[in-house]
């Protein structure tokens, strides 16, 4: 189960939300190289503070492989 979820921005109509680890807990996020997750319960996110964001135009390579195979 994930930890606390913070909203990075207001929901955008027609775009599914994505999740990523808060920058204070992830050097990859801090450097802008984070993978995005489609599910807040992805095992890679367990116990972390998450950001929930609505980002348009993500490539498949930007999405976690586990999350990209399961909807």
- The pTM of this model reads 0.79
Q: Do 49 and 6 form a contact (C-beta atoms < 8 A)?
A: yes
The predicted-structure confidence for 3-58, as pLDDT tens digits, reads as follows: 688 888 899 999 999 998 887 777 776 676 778 999 999 988 888 889 999 999 88
pLDDT at residue 38, rounded to an integer: 92
Domain of residue 13 covers: 5-69
Q: With bands split at pLDDT 50, 70 and 90, how would you rate the model's confidence at 1?
A: very low
End-to-end CA distance of the chain: 17
- Count: domains in the chain: 1
Q: With bands split at pLDDT 50, 70 and 90, how would you rate the model's confidence at 71?
A: low
């Amino acid at each position: 189960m994930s930890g606390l979820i913070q909203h990075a921005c207001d929901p955008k109509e027609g775009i599914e939300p994505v999740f990523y680890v808060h920058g204070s807990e992830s050097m990859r996020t801090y450097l802008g190289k984070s993978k995005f997750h489609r599910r807040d319960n992805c095992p890679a996110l367990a116990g972390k503070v998450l950001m929930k964001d609505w980002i348009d135009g993500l490539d498949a390579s930007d999405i976690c492989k586990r999350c990209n195979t399961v909807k």
